[in-house]
Amino acid sequence: MINEAILGPASRVVSAYNAARVQIFQNASQLNAAWQQTFVDGKVRRGELARPLDILTYVNSHDEALALSQRSIGLYTMTLNASTVELNSFALRALSHLTAIFDIDLYEDFIDAWSTHIITKSLVGGMIEERAKVTRCFRAANVEFDHEDEWKRTLAVGPALLQILEMVPWYDFVTDTAVNKRFARSNSISLKKC
């Protein structure tokens, strides 16, 4: 993709996450609900909540819960104008192989390689994150991060995507109505599997 990105301040986005917070998930259902809520809110976050399948087994014990503490530091937002996104030749070629006849394997292969959406606005920075198994009766926490100032200095060298703020589904770039409908269906199936 060849596009112009606009860099903006992170301050408005980060204010909601600019403090350490601890969440305790008593079971896999609570963790899954928190992860799905990020999609409902339209604000998909990185960190452990971005990988629920990887950690569902982590909390799948009878006498333990998962305590997850996160401290996000946003450096800037990055925005692409969705109406002027230009796909590169690789993306155009991949889209051209999608057929009007629904072939779940073909569409899943596309999604495995290209995902379901193009990120058009994101928060970039870093995150201190810790997780722990705790007994289910544990309900309080005193969160402190060691060496936070040292960690903040490393962000300039290697910032990462922290949060997806806006995204556009790939099928919005498909002009064939039949393929567009099949692609939307495939996206829906893929997101339900998560």
Residue 139 vs residue 165, higher pLDDT: 165
Contacts of 128 (CB under 8 A, 6+ apart): 20, 70, 71, 73, 145, 148, 151
pLDDT attached to residue 77 = 87
H or E segment to which residue 37 belongs? helix 28-40
> Does a structural domain hold residue 101?
no
Q: What is the pTM of this model?
A: 0.63
Q: Is-contact 165 77, C-beta < 8 A?
A: yes
Could you tell me what percent of the chain has a pLDDT over 90? 14
What's the whole-number average pLDDT of the chain?
74
Residue 193 vs residue 2, higher pLDDT: 193
> Does a structural domain hold residue 179?
no
Token output for 78: 């990055």
> Does a structural domain hold residue 113?
no
Token output for 192: 């339900």
Q: Tell me the C-alpha distance between 168 and 186, whole Å.
A: 15
pLDDT attached to residue 1 = 46
pLDDT attached to residue 33 = 74
Specify the number of domains making up the chain.
1
Long-range contacts: 99-102, Cβ < 8 Å, 24+? 99/179, 99/182, 100/176, 100/178, 100/179, 100/182, 101/182, 102/182, 102/185, 102/186
> Does a structural domain hold residue 192?
no
> Does a structural domain hold residue 110?
no
H or E segment to which residue 64 belongs? strand 64-80
pLDDT, tens digit (0-9, with 9 covering 90-100), for 65-99: 666 666 777 888 889 888 888 888 999 999 999 99
pLDDT attached to residue 99 = 92
Q: pLDDT band at 124, cuts 50/70/90?
A: confident
pLDDT attached to residue 176 = 92
Token output for 123: 């928060």
pLDDT, tens digit (0-9, with 9 covering 90-100), for 35-72: 667 666 665 555 555 555 555 565 555 556 666 666 77
> Does a structural domain hold residue 11?
yes
> Does a structural domain hold residue 185?
no
Q: Is-contact 124 160, C-beta < 8 A?
A: yes
pLDDT attached to residue 46 = 57
H or E segment to which residue 91 belongs? helix 89-96
Residue 2 vs residue 122, higher pLDDT: 122
pLDDT attached to residue 91 = 92
Which structural domain, as residue segments, surrounds residue 19? 5-86+118-170
> Does a structural domain hold residue 166?
yes
H or E segment to which residue 25 belongs? strand 21-25
Q: Tell me the C-alpha distance between 3 and 131, whole Å.
A: 37
Residue 11 vs residue 161, higher pLDDT: 161
Token output for 90: 């690789």
Q: How far apart are the first and last CA of the chain?
A: 26
